[in-house]
Amino acid sequence: MKNIAILGSTGSIGTQSLEVISENQDKFKVELLTANKNYKLLIEQAKKYKPRAIIFGDIKEKKIIENELKDEKIEIHYGEMALHNFMQFCNPDQVLTALVGKSGLIPTINAIKNNIDIALANKETLVVAGEIIMKLCKKYNVNIYPVDSEHSAIYQCLIGEKYESIEKIILTASGGPFRNKKLNELKRITKKEALNHPNWNMGDKITIDSSTLMNKGLEVIEAKFLFNFNIDMIDVVIHPQSIIHSMVEFNDGSIKAQLGEPDMKLPIQYALGFSQRIKNNYKRFDFSKNNELTFDEPCMKTFNNLKLAFEAGKSGGNMPCVLNAANEIVVDAFLKEKIAYLDMTKIIEESLNKISYIANPNLDQLIETDLKTREYSINKVKKI
């Protein structure tokens, strides 16, 4: 029995992770649940899964939460500091980080320092501080099992292979809802249109990122650190069907690919159950009914966010941190309809040019970079 702490249990990945746990109650038990805003769903989850503790972001809901859970033997904690120090309230065998954005960084670091393996769905943690995270994993002998479908695919394809035989990795991208559009067609894109992803059911932030291909850009940087590859060894290909989740090409020309239906429960189950494959009844891919798999090159002019991510990943230092912080601000602003669709890329690029470059930042410098970038980006949003 593996005890699982889920950071971000009310989001898309968190809820699907709990479904996986429900389907495998002989293998997994919930140790901790956390949420930031959705206290109603957190209360439901707590009653059903009966974790040792829960953490909620806003203490204003204290009375409601504690009244609803008064008959449960569950510790209840509140606020960012409780989240950062969640290891004080539980004893997990594995932590699944499904938090949105940079909020996953400090909790992940603290889990690693407690020698706890990570199932990582929060790509921003590696984007912001990949070099620091991977060094800590080596120091504390901690494994990171990727939950992103693309990185899970790469992880599976690399098992049993030698690093020196790898020529490149190929991350697939659905292309989002606007893959066939030109740059001038994106000027009047609405929030509703951007949130209409053709293949995946995800949270608002990641869905917008997918529409701009920033999500793929963040995944490129995540792959750089997770698998210790140079950016030049990473390619992106548009694959609208989302059946091939990613590929590895070797120096003899062979290519390994991991295929499956576009269902996030598959990589979640793989990460939680590693090193065993757990039998399930999920939908199987039927080759006889799916006779078309297509591929295309992403247009860097239309989807300039992907180009910016490659450049930030190649520059390294604190530039990926700048990219992520600016992106979080502009996506939030777009969702609140404060800026236009193409304004997001414009502000991200200006932030990358404005914030001072630091080649080998420590954690404090990355936190400072994040704050400065957010302040700069917020000011830019206000001026639009």
User: Domain residues for 376?
Assistant: 316-384
Nearest CA-CA partner of 127 in 323, 267, 332: 323
Whether residue 254 is contained in a domain is answered as: no
Q: Contact 234/249 with Cβ under 8 angstroms?
A: no
Residue type, 123: K
Whether residue 285 is contained in a domain is answered as: no
Q: Contact 365/318 with Cβ under 8 angstroms?
A: yes
pLDDT at position 176: 86
Whether residue 37 is contained in a domain is answered as: yes
pTM of the model: 0.94
CATH code of residue 65: 3.40.50.720
Whether residue 263 is contained in a domain is answered as: no
Q: Which of 129, 146, 163 is the last residue of a domain?
A: 146
Whether residue 153 is contained in a domain is answered as: no
pLDDT at position 291: 81
In this structure, what are the phi and psi dihedrals at residue 310, rounded to the nearest 5 degrees?
A: -60, -45
Whether residue 276 is contained in a domain is answered as: no
Q: Which residue bears the tokens 């495998």?
A: 24
Neighbours of 286 (CB within 10 A): 9
Q: What angle do CA 154, 158, 161 make, to 5 degrees?
A: 160
Q: What angle do CA 257, 315, 215 make, to 5 degrees?
A: 45
Q: Which of 146, 166, 191 is the last residue of a domain?
A: 146
CATH code of residue 365: 1.10.1740.10
Whether residue 152 is contained in a domain is answered as: no
Whether residue 48 is contained in a domain is answered as: yes
Q: Which of 146, 175, 207 is the last residue of a domain?
A: 146
Q: What total number of domains does the chain contain?
A: 2
Using CA atoms of 362, 365, 367, 368 in order, give the dihedral in degrees to the nearest 10. 180
- CA distances (Å), 40 to each of 5, 47, 65, 69, 336, in order? 19, 11, 8, 11, 23
Q: What is the pLDDT along the chain (384 residues), one digit of tens a residue?
A: 999 999 999 999 999 999 999 999 999 999 999 999 999 999 999 999 999 999 999 999 999 999 999 999 999 999 999 999 999 999 999 999 999 878 899 999 999 999 999 999 999 999 999 999 999 999 999 999 999 999 999 999 999 999 999 999 999 999 988 998 899 999 999 999 999 877 766 789 989 999 999 999 999 999 999 999 999 999 999 999 999 999 999 999 999 999 999 999 999 999 999 989 999 999 999 999 888 999 999 999 899 999 999 999 999 999 999 999 999 999 999 999 999 999 999 999 999 999 999 999 999 999 999 999 999 999 999 998
